[in-house]
Chain A
Amino acid sequence: MNGRLLAIGAAGATLLVPALLLAFAPQVEFSQSVCPHKLLTGFPCPGCGITRSIMSLYRGDLAGSLGYHVFGLPLVIACVVGIVALAVEMRTKRDLLRGILFDRRLGIGAGGFLAGYHGIRLIHFVATHSVASILRESVWQ
């Protein structure tokens, strides 16, 4: 399969899934997370909250979106820009994104930022949750 088409599909799904949830199952935003890590441990994984963050963004609630996950907005922007740029690449046969997508320093920088953010979020999570409430967010209770 064409790699660009696949990437467009992945970026499109990232944008579409929260939109479909908002349209057909908005209660998901306030229900139990289905993240396997959270279900098993009760603790959030680095990506927990991104779908809810994008759903909040679609509702026009920027503060709520940032509250769920700071990467929601950048991810939406990256997906929109990625879809447009990849479509242009397919049309013109020119590489527009290669320099960004395969930039090692950008990868390490994004990873470091996500890790730092997740570390702070974990400290906040532990400080604001009791053992019982953490267990309630897992499958063990």
Chain B
Amino acid sequence: MNPIPTFKVEPIVVLILGFITCGLYRIYWNIKMAEVLNAVAEREVISQPVAVFAGCCYPVNMYFDYLTGKECLPKIQARLGEPQTDQTILLMVLGFFFPMIAAMIVQGEVNKLYDRQ
């Protein structure tokens, strides 16, 4: 298995930093998260240049959330030995109305990887 780049942040911190930096933190978060999710999936699933615009542009945001829910979160659950659940629709709906909540869910799932180590 590929080593996973360390990017452990409390989900609430993602929310708070997203707000107080007026979205600047989300740009950094998207780039780092694309790197982590590609490592988890063991292939290039999410393009970093595209990830930059997730959170800026709704169709790109929905695309990012779809790939995360469909291709990456099941891989995290498989690594953790948990039953695989499809959270794609949840992430896409939350990503449309409350993108910061979708980011918190993804960060929470990724954090489980580091908690297990």
A residues contacting B by CB (< 8 A) are 1, 3, 6-7, 9-11, 13-14, 17, 36-37, 40-41, 43-47, 50-51, 71, 75, 98, 100-104, 106-108, 110-111, 114-115, 118-119, 122
Contact status B60-A45, CB under 8 Å: no
Chain B binding surface, main DSSP class: helix
Interface bits B55-70 vs A (CB < 8 Å: 1, else 0): 1111110110011001
> Does B27 contact A41, Cβ atoms closer than 8 Å?
no
Whether B49 and A103, one on each chain, are in contact in the complex, defined by CB atoms closer than 8 angstroms, is yes
Inter-subunit contact B27/A50 (CB<8 Å):
no
The residue from A6, A37, A104, A106 contacting B22, defined by CB atoms under 8 A apart: A37
Asked whether, in the complex, the Cβ of B100 is within 8 Å of the Cβ of A36, the reply is yes
B58 partner residues in chain A, CB cutoff 8 A: 13, 17
Beyond A103-B48, A118-B24, 7 extra complex contacts between A and B, CB < 8 Å? A6-B67, A7-B63, A44-B22, A45-B23, A46-B56, A107-B51, A111-B52
User: 26 A-B Cβ contacts within 8 A?
Assistant: A10-B60, A10-B62, A10-B63, A11-B59, A36-B97, A37-B23, A37-B100, A41-B19, A43-B22, A44-B23, A46-B22, A46-B27, A47-B56, A47-B57, A50-B56, A71-B53, A75-B53, A101-B47, A101-B49, A101-B50, A102-B47, A107-B47, A107-B49, A111-B30, A114-B27, A114-B53
A102-B56 contact, Cβ under 8 Å, with A107-B51, A115-B24: no
Closest to A108 in B: B31
List residues 13-33 of chain B with CB under 8 A from any CB of chain A: 18-19, 22-24, 26-28, 30-31
Q: Is the CB of B52 within 8 A of A107?
A: yes
Residue of A nearest to B24 (CB): A115
Q: Which 4 A-B pairs have the closest CB atoms?
A: A107-B48, A47-B56, A13-B59, A10-B63
